[in-house]
Amino acid sequence: MTKQNIGILCGGRSAEHEVSLQSALNVFDAVDRARFNPLLIGIDKKGSWGVNLSGDLVRNAGDPKNIALNLPLTPVALLPDSRGMLAVKGQKSVKLDVVFPVLHGPFGEDGTVQGLLKLVDIPFVGSGVMGSAAGMDKDIMKRLLRDAGIPIGRFLVLRGTALSFDEAASRLGQVLFIKPANMGSSVGISKVSNETEYNAALAEARKYDTKIIVEEFINGREIECSVLGNENPRASLPGEVRAARAFYSYEAKYIDADGAELIIPAQLPPETVSRVQDLAIRTFQTLECRGFSRVDLFVKENGEALVNEINTIPGFTRISMYPKLWVASGIPYTGLINRLIDLAFE
């Protein structure tokens, strides 16, 4: 059987560049070599593309946050064309049969790369332009979920105009979360409870986006559920995140092994498990997602579940919840990647 070339697209111009590299290396290692020939396609922070043709990797040691795109990359002269050919500088063109975008955040998870791949008619893993764009923008996402009758927390949107802490607190409560509308991996997120913290948090969030989300604090367990499929998606067993600090931060997700405890599967009553799985699938379908996503929820003490957000390209590092939940649900890591590629062709 002739192997198919799978381009693993990683890096990118967003603040989640390093997270993407960690995820991509794990996907690269786990690809079924009997079926696929994996090619790492890196995008640096300036937007230049390069491809790893040798299959050899140079891995950084030390702090994962400081990982660099130092793979042996050959510059790409042209992006893929309508035949799936990737023009490589000084080399013969490489045929891409399918692409696995492992790009987190803007310029990768927001529909931009998906639009490029749609334009040149190359199958790719994950949601298309609509689902990716809607899932990336927390404002648009929350309004679509609310209109679909899916329970969410209360929120406000700030676009340039200032809203004082007292005004926000009077509408949402004394404890608030401040987030850039278009960012993931907890980048730019702060938990605040006074005016000084609030103003500092707005300044931090505005480093990443001009549109800011202010959310109420929900006193509940942090539950995550993985979704897999296209027209008929299925949900994994839910998992629980117990953060060691104020919230599940970037450091807790990717750097500090003791930053959070992941409980897989979550210890929930059967009826709550079913409710979480149903909400995860409804969220996935409401936002027109495909392939895979991770839905994050809060479950209150009374069993009420509220959707927090969706991640249309969830982390694939070795400590990431998405693949761990499917392993607990009976799909091993390599089998999961095979299934995602099959869904891309589908």
Residue-level pLDDT at 96:
92
DSSP state of 188: T
Question: What element of type H or E holds 11?
Answer: strand 4-11
- Which one of 3.40.50.20, 3.30.1490.270, 3.40.50.300, 3.40.50.150 gives the CATH number of domain 4-124? 3.40.50.20
**Pairwise pLDDT comparison (330 vs 11), residue with the higher score:** 330
Q: Are 172 and 216 in contact (CB under 8 A)?
A: yes
pLDDT tens-digit map of 27-43: 988 899 999 999 989 88
- Confidence category of residue 15, pLDDT binned at 50, 70, 90: confident
Do the bridges between strand 85-86 and strand 94-95 make them parallel or antiparallel, or are there none, so unpaired?
antiparallel
pLDDT single digits (tens) 238-285: 999 997 665 544 555 545 556 678 999 999 999 999 999 999 999 999
Q: What is the pLDDT of residues 283-311, one digit of tens each?
A: 999 999 999 999 999 999 999 999 999 99
Report the pLDDT averaged over residues 228-238: 97
The CATH code belonging to domain 155-216 is: 3.30.1490.20
**DSSP assigned state of 151:** -
Burial of 90 (0-12, 13-18, 19+ CB in 10 A): exposed
Q: Strand locations in 44-174, DSSP E?
A: 49-51, 74-75, 85-86, 94-95, 98-101, 155-159
The predicted structure's pLDDT at residue 57? 58
**4, 94 in Cβ contact below 8 A?**
no
Q: Where are the domains of the chain?
A: 4-124, 135-151+219-345, 155-216
Per-residue pLDDT tens digits for 53-67: 766 655 554 454 555
Q: Quick one: how far is CA 97 from the chain centroid?
A: 23
Mean pLDDT of all residues in 123-146: 96
**Distance (Å, whole) CA 166 – CA 168:** 6
Chosen CATH of 135-151+219-345 out of 3.40.50.12500, 3.10.300.10, 3.30.470.20, 2.30.30.90: 3.30.470.20
Report the pLDDT averaged over residues 324-335.
95
Closest to 325 in 3D by CA, of 227, 202, 219, 185: 227
pLDDT value for 87: 87
- Region 125-135: what's the mean pLDDT? 96
Helix axes 112-119, 129-136, angle to 10 degrees: 170
Nearest-5° Cα angle at 290, 289 to 292: 100
Task: Tell me if 225 sits within 8 A of 311, measured CB to CB.
Answer: no
Higher pLDDT residue, 21 or 113? 113
Which token pair is 106?
Answer: 């803007």
CA distances from 61 to 19, 22, 67 (A): 15, 12, 8
Residues 31, 199 contacting (CB under 8 angstroms): no
Question: Per residue in 141-190, pLDDT tens?
Answer: 999 999 999 999 999 999 977 799 999 999 999 999 999 988 765 678 99
Of the ranges 111-120, 284-293, 312-321, which is most confident?
Answer: 284-293
What DSSP state is assigned to residue 330? T
Whether residue 74 contacts residue 66, with contact meaning beta carbons closer than 8 Å, is answered with no
3-state secondary structure of 227: strand
Question: How do strand 211-216 and strand 260-263 relate by DSSP bridges?
Answer: unpaired
CA 213 to CA 128: how far, in whole Å?
24
Reported as a pLDDT band with limits 50, 70 and 90, residue 320 is: confident
Q: What is the DSSP letter of 73?
A: P
Provide the β-strand partners of residue 179: 213
> Per-residue pLDDT averaged across 73-81, rounded?
83
- On whether the pTM is more than 0.75, the answer is yes
Contact 80, 119 (CB under 8 A): no
Give the per-residue pLDDT at 182: 83
Cα–Cα distance between 187 and 183 in angstroms, integer? 6
Instruction: Kindly report whether the peptide bond that precedes residue 265 is cis, defined as omega within 30 degrees of 0.
Output: yes
In the prediction, which pLDDT does 90 show?
80
- Secondary structure letter of residue 257 according to DSSP: T
Asked, colleague to colleague, whether 135-151+219-345 and 155-216 share their fold, the answer is no
